[in-house]
C-alpha cells in the first residue's frame, strides 16, 4: 500500500450520492411499513454501499476511491483554530511510538517537613495493619518504599516502575507501559498521594499486583448526611403515559481505528491486530489471515465499517427524513492502542472525526454523549480535583475539547457546556418536556484508573457522585424525569468498577427511583447486557422491589469476537419509559467475502425486539403498552430460573449473534441471572459465581 502525499479533493460526488440514494430507495421499497412496531422491523435489512461515500469529507490524503486501503480524510479541528491533523498521526505505515509532546506532569519534590509527616503517617498505617505478616503486607510495605521515592525523587518513580515490572515479569513490554511517557508518571503521582499502608494500598495490591491483598468490603456509608431530603413517602404519583412514542438511538463503543491496514494480519499475537506491523508469532512477516476491508473479529472498527453503520442506522430505523428525537452515545471513540502509541492529538483527532460524522449522518436531533475510558490520554486515566494544583487539571484539555465539540455540533446549551468543563466532561441537560439527561464520567469509578486509588475509602473523592445527587434532587423538586448515561457499568459481574463508589451510586439510584430516574445506560463491555437496581441495596430481590434498569449497550466494534450492533428505543414522551427496544447487527464473519468488489458493503439486519423476545416468557403476559421497566426484567429473570433456554437466548444475543459466542451451560446459567440482578460491584462480588460475564 503506497502513501500519496498530495491531497485529494472529494471526487465522485454525484456517483456516491446516487449510489446511497439507490440503496435507500431499494430498502424503502422492500420494507415500506417500517415506521414502528417489531413486526415491521423484523424483516428489515440494509446493505451498505460498497464504495466509500466520498462526500462525507472535503479532502483526503489518499485517493478515496481506492479499495486496497482505508481512506484517510483530512480533518480540521473546529474548536482548535488552524489545527489540521497530519497524515502521520493515522498512517498505518508510520504509527507513532511515543507522544513526547504531552507527558503527564510529575508531582513536585516534597519538602523535608512533608517527608517527615508522610513517614510518620505511613508507619502508623503499617503498625495498625492486621495482615502485616502476609503477602498483602509485603506488597503494601513495598508500596511504602515506592511512596517515599515518589516524594523525594519523583523523576525516579517511572524508572522504578519499569525495573519492578521487568524483575517480576509483569509484562513483556514494561518500557512501553510504565515509562515516564506512558503510565509511569501517573503511577508516581498516585503512589505519592495514596495511603499505601491502608485501604488504598490494599486495593492497589488487589487490582494491579497479582491479587496479593484480599478485596476489602465496601466502606460503611453515612447516607443521612449525604441526602438533603429523605425519599418522599408516599412517592409522587407517576406521570400519565402520553401514548406518543419517541424514537431514540443508542449506540456505543465505535473504537474507530484510523490506522487499520486492509490486508494486514487479522489474527496477530501481539499488539492491535489489522495493523501493518503486527503479525502472528507462528509466521512472522507472513500474513495468515488478511484483514478484510470492512473489519474482522479480533480488530477495532475500520472507517469503512463505521460509515456503513451510520448509513444503515437511519434507513433501518425509519428516521431518514425525521431524524431521531434524540440519541445517546455511551462512550469509547478511540481504538485500543498501547499507551506508547497514543497521544493527545490522537484522542482529539478521533473525537473530532466521529462527532462530525455523527452530526452529518444521524439527523438534526441532539446527541447526548459520555466520555469512555479509552477517550483519554493515557487511556482510562482521569485525575480528580482533590489532587490540587496542576495535577488536578492535567486532563482539562480533554474536558474542554469535548465540551467545545458538543457545543459546536449544537447538542449542548452553554449551561451544559459550562458543567462539562467543570465536572470532568459530565453535565446535565434540562429539556423542555420535563426530561433531563445526566451524563457521568465513569472513569472515576473504573478499576483501571490509577487516580481512583487515592483516599479510596472515601467513595467520592472526585465529587462526581455529589454532582449527580444534587442534579437528581433538583429534578425531584421540579417533578422531572431523568436518564443517566455513563460508560463503565456500575455492576454486572463487578470486574470493571470499584466497590466503594458504585456502592454509593446504588444508594443514590435507590433514593431517586423509580419516581425520578426512568432509565440508566452504559457501554464498555461491547456486549448486550443488563442490570436491575432494587430497593434497600438489593437485600430483597423481587418484582416489587425492582426499581430501575441499567441497559448495557453492545458495540459497533467487533473487538473481540463480536458482531457489530446498534439499538433504537421507543420511548413514551411523558414518562420516558422504554416501550420497546429494537437491535440490529451485522455479521462480521461475512466481511471477507466482500473484498475484491465495490458493489455492496456490509449487510445490517434486524436482530430482535426486546418485548417480543422476552415478553411472552412472563407468566400472565405483559401488556402491549406496559414499559420494559425493572419489574418486567425481574419477571424475565424469574422465567430464566424456570426455563434455562431463555438464558441460552440471552447468551446468544449478548454477543450480537456472533458465530464465536460460546454456549452457556452449567454454572453459567445462575451466574448470568445473578449478574443481571447486580447493579453494583459490591452486590456482584458478594452474590455471584465469577467467570461467566463475557462471551468474548
Q: Known binder of ligand: residue 385?
A: no
Q: Helix (H, G, I), strand (E, B), or coil: what is residue 569? A: strand
Distance CA 420, CA 400 (A): 8
Residues forming a β-bridge with 519: 483
Radius of gyration, alpha carbons of the chain:
25
* Among 185, 523, 526, CA closest to 378: 185
Phi first, then psi, for residue 436 (nearest 5°) are -130, 150
DSSP 384-420: -GGG-HHHHTTTHHHHHHHHHHHHHTT-S-HHHHHHH
Count how many Cα atoms sit within 13 Å of the Cα of residue 398 in the half-sphere of its side chain.
31
Distance CA 184, CA 142 (A): 16
DSSP-derived letter for residue 666 is: T
Distance CA 275, CA 547 (A): 45
Q: Helix (H, G, I), strand (E, B), or coil: what is residue 312? A: helix
Whether the Cβ atoms of residue 51 and residue 65 lie closer than 8 Å to each other: yes
| Vertex 553 angle, CA 512 and 624, to 5° | 70
Q: How far is CA 354 from CA 362, 375, 469, 484, in A?
A: 12, 12, 31, 22
Distance CA 75, CA 79 (A): 12
Distance CA 77, CA 263 (A): 30
Whether the Cβ atoms of residue 658 and residue 562 lie closer than 8 Å to each other: yes
Q: Known binder of ligand: residue 253?
A: yes
**Total H helices, total E strands in the chain:** 21, 15
Which cell is 119 given? 513517614
CB neighbours of 386 closer than 8 A, spacing ≥ 6? Answer: 392, 454, 455, 461, 462, 463
Q: Known binder of ligand: residue 580?
A: no
Strand (E) or helix (H) holding 429: strand 427-430
Q: Known binder of ligand: residue 300?
A: no
| Length of the chain in terms of residues written | 696
Which cell is 650 given? 440471552
Whether residue 609 has a cis bond before it, omega within 30° of 0: no
Q: Known binder of ligand: residue 373?
A: yes
Burial 41-79 (b: 16+ CB within 10 A, else e): bbebebbbbbbbbbbbbeebbbebbbbebbbbbbbebeb
Residue pointed to by grid coordinates 451451560:
665
Q: Binding site: which residues? A: 253, 255, 332, 373, 487, 524, 526
Q: Binding site for Zn(2+): which residues? A: 253, 255, 332, 373, 487, 524, 526
Amino acid at each position: 500500500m503506497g502513501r500519496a502525499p498530495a491531497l485529494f479533493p472529494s471526487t465522485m460526488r454525484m456517483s456516491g450520492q446516487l449510489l446511497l440514494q439507490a440503496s435507500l430507495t431499494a430498502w424503502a421499497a422492500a420494507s415500506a411499513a417500517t415506521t414502528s412496531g417489531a413486526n415491521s422491523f423484523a424483516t428489515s435489512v440494509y446493505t451498505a454501499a460498497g464504495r466509500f461515500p466520498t462526500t462525507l469529507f472535503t479532502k483526503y490524503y489518499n485517493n478515496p476511491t481506492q479499495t486496497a486501503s482505508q481512506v484517510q480524510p483530512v480533518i480540521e479541528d473546529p474548536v482548535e483554530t488552524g489545527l489540521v491533523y497530519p497524515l502521520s498521526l493515522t498512517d498505518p505505515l508510520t504509527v507513532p511510538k511515543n507522544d513526547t509532546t504531552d507527558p503527564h506532569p510529575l508531582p513536585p519534590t516534597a519538602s523535608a517537613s512533608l517527608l517527615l509527616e508522610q513517614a510518620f503517617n505511613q508507619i502508623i498505617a503499617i503498625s495498625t495493619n492486621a495482615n502485616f505478616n502476609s503477602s498483602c503486607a509485603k506488597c503494601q510495605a513495598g508500596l511504602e518504599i515506592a511512596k517515599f521515592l515518589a516524594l523525594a525523587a519523583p523523576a525516579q518513580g517511572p524508572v522504578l516502575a519499569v525495573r519492578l515490572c521487568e524483575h517480576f515479569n509483569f509484562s513483556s513490554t514494561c518500557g512501553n507501559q510504565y515509562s515516564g511517557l506512558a503510565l509511569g508518571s501517573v503511577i508516581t503521582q498516585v503512589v505519592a498521594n495514596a495511603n499505601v499502608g491502608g485501604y488504598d494500598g490494599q486495593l492497589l495490591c488487589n487490582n494491579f499486583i497479582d491479587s496479593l491483598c484480599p478485596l476489602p468490603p465496601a466502606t460503611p456509608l453515612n447516607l443521612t448526611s449525604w441526602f438533603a431530603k429523605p425519599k418522599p413517602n408516599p412517592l409522587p404519583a407517576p406521570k400519565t403515559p402520553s401514548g406518543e412514542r419517541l424514537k431514540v438511538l443508542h449506540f456505543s463503543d465505535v473504537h474507530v481505528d484510523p490506522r487499520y491496514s486492509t490486508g494486514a494480519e487479522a489474527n496477530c499475537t501481539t499488539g492491535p491486530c489489522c495493523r501493518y506491523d503486527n503479525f502472528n508469532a507462528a509466521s512472522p512477516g507472513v500474513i495468515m489471515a488478511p484483514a478484510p476491508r470492512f473489519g474482522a473479529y479480533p480488530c477495532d472498527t475500520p472507517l469503512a465499517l463505521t460509515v456503513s453503520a451510520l448509513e444503515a442506522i437511519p434507513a433501518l430505523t425509519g428516521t431518514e427524513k425525521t431524524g431521531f428525537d434524540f440519541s445517546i452515545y455511551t462512550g469509547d471513540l478511540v481504538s485500543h492502542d498501547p499507551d506508547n502509541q497514543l497521544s493527545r492529538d490522537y484522542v482529539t483527532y478521533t473525537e473530532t472525526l466521529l462527532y462530525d460524522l455523527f452530526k452529518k449522518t444521524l439527523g438534526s436531533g441532539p446527541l447526548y454523549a459520555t466520555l469512555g475510558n479509552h477517550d483519554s490520554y493515557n487511556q482510562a486515566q482521569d485525575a480528580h480535583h482533590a489532587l490540587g494544583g496542576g495535577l488536578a487539571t492535567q486532563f482539562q484539555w480533554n474536558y474542554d475539547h469535548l465540551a467545545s465539540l458538543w457545543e459546536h455540533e449544537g447538542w449542548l446549551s452553554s449551561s451544559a457546556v459550562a458543567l462539562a468543563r467543570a465536572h470532568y466532561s459530565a453535565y446535565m441537560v434540562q429539556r423542555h418536556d420535563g426530561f433531563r439527561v445526566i451524563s457521568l464520567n465513569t472513569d472515576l469509578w473504573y478499576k483501571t484508573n490509577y487516580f481512583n486509588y487515592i483516599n479510596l475509602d472515601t467513595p467520592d473523592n472526585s465529587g462526581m457522585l455529589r454532582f449527580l445527587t444534587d442534579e437528581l434532587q433538583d429534578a425531584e423538586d421540579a417533578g422531572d424525569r431523568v436518564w443517566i448515561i455513563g460508560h463503565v457499568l456500575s455492576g454486572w459481574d463487578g470486574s470493571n468498577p470499584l466497590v466503594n463508589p458504585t456502592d454509593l451510586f446504588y444508594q443514590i439510584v435507590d433514593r431517586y427511583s423509580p419516581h425520578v430516574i426512568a432509565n440508566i445506560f452504559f457501554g464498555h463491555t461491547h456486549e448486550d447486557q443488563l442490570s436491575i437496581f432494587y430497593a434497600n441495596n438489593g437485600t430483597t430481590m423481587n418484582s416489587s422491589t425492582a426499581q430501575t434498569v441499567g441497559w448495557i449497550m453492545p458495540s459497533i466494534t467487533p473487538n473481540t469476537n463480536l458482531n457489530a450492533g446498534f439499538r433504537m428505543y421507543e420511548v413514551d414522551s411523558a414518562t420516558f419509559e422504554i416501550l420497546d427496544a429494537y437491535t440490529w447487527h451485522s455479521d462480521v464473519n461475512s466481511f471477507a467475502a466482500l473484498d475484491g468488489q465495490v458493489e455492496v458493503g456490509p449487510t445490517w439486519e434486524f436482530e430482535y425486539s426486546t418485548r417480543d423476545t422476552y415478553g411472552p416468557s412472563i407468566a400472565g403476559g405483559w401488556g402491549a403498552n406496559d414499559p420494559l421497566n425493572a419489574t418486567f426484567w425481574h419477571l424475565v429473570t424469574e422465567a430464566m430460573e424456570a426455563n434455562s433456554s431463555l438464558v441460552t437466548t440471552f447468551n446468544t444475543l449478548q454477543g450480537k449473534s456472533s458465530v464465536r459466542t460460546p454456549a452457556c451451560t452449567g454454572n453459567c446459567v445462575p451466574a448470568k441471572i445473578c449478574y443481571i440482578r447486580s447493579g453494583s460491584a459490591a452486590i456482584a462480588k458478594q452474590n455471584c459465581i465469577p467467570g461467566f460475564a463475557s462471551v468474548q
